[in-house]
């Protein structure tokens, strides 16, 4: 009789090493990483922000962290594609769980996110966040900038999110404008990729429009991003609606003409030269998804970025 496979790696498994757990069994965490609040010796933290009170169209992104964790179980035991090595032998990664806030007081959410993110970042760990709608990136930027100074923003998105903001509203379509006004974003080294809508202002951020991606190709797109960012410390935010609705139907404001999942993943793969100090994937809304297509894409985006971090550590960068 063959030995039983381990279960519940999320509670009992090692911090390092990929999971051997069956995809269809066990407690779900991101990539079967152990749930923990102990930051001792930890290189990277994944956490969720189940918030969608700032959406302007379809709600549901509050369920995004759950869906992404569920989808991440699929590749959790393999050498991660396309890196070809077990990133968890290079990075000690934990799942922090979700940010806790009172949904009855949405205006207080941002301060809660910032405080908890600053606590994690103070340990020196890399923080990867599962949204939630795109407003959550604003307090995350505040926390990262408090540690690193103003950051280049690499934003994969269908929308510029630069609508005017008086500083009091909570709106997933204006967080970039607010962050620029606050000096969080180094606009001279920032770029938005896959944009397929128009906003009144660009805030000085370079735009690669959705229709330009086909002409540029992946290699050209990688060159645009890396040449714009250079050596600046970078925050990478990925709104899942950057992808065409064929590849990400489960989102609040889908826009036709987006990137394919392959274009997005191979572009991310080419960004290993960037000094990415924080990242998120947002706007996964599983109620509109089909067969976990969008959740799988979201989990893959997160895995790709963590793979880049692991690869740089492996190379001693």
Q: What is the pLDDT of residues 17-30, one digit of tens each?
A: 888 777 888 889 99
pTM listed for this prediction: 0.95
pLDDT score at 4: 61
Name which of 94-108, 134-148, 237-251, 268-282 the model is least confident about.
94-108
- What's the longest Cα–Cα distance across the chain? 66
pLDDT band at 3 (very low <50, low <70, confident <90, very high): low
265: closest CA among 246, 250, 243, 290? Answer: 243
Name which of 3-12, 25-34, 109-118, 223-232 the model is least confident about.
3-12
Q: Where are the domains of the chain?
A: 9-314
Q: What SS3 class is residue 315?
A: coil
**CA 162 – CA 152 distance, rounded (Å):** 16
Known binding-site residues for Mn(2+) equal: 134, 157, 159, 161, 239, 241
Question: How many Å separate Cα 179 from the centre of its chain?
Answer: 17
β strands within 93-175, DSSP E: 93-98, 126-131, 152-156
**CA 73 – CA 27 distance, rounded (Å):** 10
Q: What SS3 class is residue 93?
A: strand
Mean pLDDT across the stretch 200-220? Answer: 94
pLDDT band at 2 (very low <50, low <70, confident <90, very high): low
Mean pLDDT across the stretch 121-138? Answer: 97
Known binding-site residues equal: 134, 157, 159, 161, 239, 241
pLDDT score at 137: 97
Mean pLDDT across the stretch 255-273? Answer: 97
Give the CATH architecture of domain 9-314: 3-Layer(aba) Sandwich (3.40)
């Amino acid at each position: 009789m063959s030995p039983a496979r381990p279960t519940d790696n999320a509670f009992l498994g090692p911090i390092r090493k990929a999971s051997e757990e069956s995809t269809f069994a066990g407690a779900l965490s991101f990539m079967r990483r152990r749930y923990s609040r102990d930051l001792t010796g930890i290189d990277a933290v994944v956490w969720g922000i189940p918030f969608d009170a700032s959406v302007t169209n379809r709600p549901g992104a509050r369920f995004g962290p759950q869906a992404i964790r569920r989808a991440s179980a699929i590749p959790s035991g393999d050498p991660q594609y396309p890196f070809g090595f077990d990133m968890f032998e290079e990075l000690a990664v934990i799942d922090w769980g979700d940010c806790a806030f009172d949904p009855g007081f949405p205006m207080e959410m941002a301060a809660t996110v910032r405080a908890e993110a600053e606590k994690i970042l103070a340990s020196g760990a890399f923080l990867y966040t599962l949204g939630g709608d795109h407003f959550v990136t604003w307090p995350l930027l505040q926390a990262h900038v408090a540690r690193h100074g103003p950051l280049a923003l690499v934003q994969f998105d269908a929308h510029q999110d630069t609508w005017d903001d008086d500083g009091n509203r909570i709106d997933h379509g204006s967080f970039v404008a607010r962050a620029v006004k606050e000096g969080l974003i180094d606009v001279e080294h920032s770029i938005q990729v896959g944009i397929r809508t128009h906003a009144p202002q660009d805030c000085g951020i370079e735009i690669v429009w959705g229709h330009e991606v086909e002409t540029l190709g992946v290699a050209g797109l990688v060159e645009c991003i890396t040449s714009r960012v250079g050596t600046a410390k970078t925050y990478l935010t990925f709104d899942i609606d950057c992808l065409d609705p064929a590849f990400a139907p489960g989102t609040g404001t889908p826009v036709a003409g987006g990137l394919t999942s392959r274009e997005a993943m191979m572009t991310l793969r080419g960004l290993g030269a960037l000094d990415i100090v924080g990242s998120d994937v947002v706007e996964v809304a599983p109620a509109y998804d089909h067969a976990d297509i969008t959740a799988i894409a979201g989990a893959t985006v997160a895995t790709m970025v963590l793979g880049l971090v692991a690869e740089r550590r492996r190379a001693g960068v």
